[in-house]
Amino acid sequence: MGRLMDSPSVKTPAKTSVLLCGDRASELAMGSFAEGVSVQIVPELCQSTRNIGQLALGATSLVVGVCSGEYSLGAIQTQARKVGLDALGVELVDLNCANGDPERLRLMVGAAVARAAAFGGSRLGNAKQTFPSRMTRRSLFRLSVPAYVSAPQPDSTRCTAGTGCHACVAVCSRGALAWTKGVITHDNAACEPCGLCVTACPTGAMVDPGITPRQLEAQIRALLDPGVGPVGARGIVYTCRRAGVSETNAGWYPVVVACTGMVPPSWLLAPLLLGAGATAARPCGDSDCPMHNDERLASTVAYCHAFLEAVGIDSGLVSMSTDVPRSGLDRRVEPDDPFGPFAADVLRALADVGQHSGDVVLDHPASPVGIIKIGVEACTGCTICAQSCPTGALAWRVDSEVGGVDDVVGGVGDVVGGGRDVVGGGREEITFDASLCTACGQCLPRCPEASRDAITLSVTTDVAALRREREVLFAENVMRCVSCGKPIAPTKMMARIRDLIGDDAEPVMRVLTRYCVDCRGAGVPPHSAE
């Protein structure tokens, strides 16, 4: 087998600059990295960061390996800005985590390079200024250079707050997020970036530029690259940014997130499909932690255990501790977008790997997917649930022999798929795609008939449902305007209105059931279509 020809001998300039503090890195023989990565060992880098800018000149991303807590993050970020880099994209590697193993160091640095290269840039508001937690007498004279951590901001192009979604607001324990007139506002000063809103957002619209699905995937794939690093099973352990990376056992590789409470089940399960021997998320154990997310993490891990067990996979592959990593799965399956907002693909892939033949139905409060049921007796077909579904898991269809469907209904269907379509026969349908449901529950409070159980959400993982095509939950004939032919409303809605109005309904119903909103207001004589 021949190799592909190497590219012409035109040297491309280094794109990622890796600067390692020589106090630890010089002990280790750094191997070569991919083209475009320049590695320099800098004596006493942790103590003096002044040369970082000069050394990183021309780079498009920067990785800094530090070996002691003496370094100033603010000073490193300042140097990055000097050479035009986005300071929030600088990746730090704790060289102590290499445990003196050059192969391990090379793997970790390579993964940090991958994560830095996947950084997509930040926006105003993503930089959260940090200070020492207390003002001291000394700080009356001098302040340390401000260090910034990345904080989430809603991406208005993907945010569905306009339809009423406020899933991010519901999980914020700091009161930093608010929903006002269809817009999510973020108070950076109140935010203690924990990332809960990032993974709670059903559409992935809440973006923390330092912890994006793309970055995680890049870093984890690099850490699991069998062609690099020590031989043997590798574990992926999520660690809290606030607590810093502490000692990890050999064979375990840290991936920093804002807070391990933010880690959803799919982030713990996906690395197994990518080749990890095991995954873990370690609570910071910091009694001063303002997040108090340990319980949330414990529930997420418990869900992973239950799911793996249900599909016939060793549940010990996911844990909250870093014991010796296990050997992982027998087969590797590549899920689409493993760290994205939809967990269905990861769950389906694991069920395939587990080759479990029976039904897997798992009720668990941490389930990342859910099942919507519509009570056909109570539902009037108003479609508000589908209009408010952020992901398009719930959608609706109305036939339209007169005029386009867009004239009849509107909603979020065009944002994330699903939504509007044309069916024949004068009927309205509400449909459901379980693979798009994130169990966010945004549809529930908007249902006008919720008290009559017109809609219910089960926080349940049903693998068979995840594999099914979109299904029809509600179908009803639609009344049409006798004047212009446009749909008026489902017959069940008219029946409900009749019930609510009571005995005096007939005169009103005569108009309501015959004419659409436009013709009612247009002075169309009732006899014109009689």
Partner 1 sequence: MTKARAKAAPEMEESLNWAELTLLRQGLYRFFGAVFMAPSQDGIQALGAGALVLDSLGIDRFAYSGPWQKLRSAMGALQSATDLEAIYISLFVVGGGRTPCPPVESHYVGDPSKGEAGVFDAELKRYYQDLGLALSSTHRHTHDHLSVELEVMSALCAREHTAWEDGVFGAAAGEQRCELDFLNKHLGTWLGLFACRVAEAQSAGFYSDAAAACWAFVHHDHEFLRLIVQMRDDPESDD
* Residues near partner 1 (CB under 8 A): 44, 46-50, 68, 70-72, 74-75, 78-79, 81-82, 84, 86-87, 124-125, 127-129, 131, 134-137, 139-146, 148, 188-189
Q: Distance (Å, rounded) from C-alpha 171 to C-alpha 107?
A: 35
Judged by CB, which is closer to partner 1: 35, or 131?
A: 131
Q: Compute CA distances 408 → 63, 86, 401, 447, 523, whole Å.
A: 54, 46, 11, 20, 20
DSSP string, 373-425: EE-TTT-----HHHHH-SSSSEEEEE--SSS-HHHH--SSHHHHS------SS
> At its nearest, how many Å lie between partner 1 and the CB of residue 152?
15
Judged by CB, which is closer to partner 1: 135, or 422?
A: 135
> At its nearest, how many Å lie between partner 1 and the CB of residue 186?
12
Judged by CB, which is closer to partner 1: 144, or 355?
A: 144
Element (H, E) at 429: strand 427-432
- Look at residues 223, 245, 218 and name the one whose alpha carbon lies nearest to residue 233: 223
Judged by CB, which is closer to partner 1: 54, or 144?
A: 144
Judged by CB, which is closer to partner 1: 131, or 511?
A: 131
> At its nearest, how many Å lie between partner 1 and the CB of residue 279?
33
For residue 297, give every residue at least 6 positions away whose Cβ sits within 8 Å of its Cβ, in sequence order, or none: 260, 261, 263, 281, 283, 320
> At its nearest, how many Å lie between partner 1 and the CB of residue 24?
13
Q: Compute CA distances 170 → 116, 140, 187, 196, 343, whole Å.
A: 31, 38, 15, 10, 20
> At its nearest, how many Å lie between partner 1 and the CB of residue 258?
18
For residue 509, give every residue at least 6 positions away whose Cβ sits within 8 Å of its Cβ, in sequence order, or none: 494, 497, 498, 501
Contact 228, 241 (CB under 8 A): no
> At its nearest, how many Å lie between partner 1 and the CB of residue 158?
18
Judged by CB, which is closer to partner 1: 210, or 335?
A: 210
Judged by CB, which is closer to partner 1: 26, or 139?
A: 139
How far does the chain reach from its first CA to its final CA, in angstroms? 81
> At its nearest, how many Å lie between partner 1 and the CB of residue 140?
5
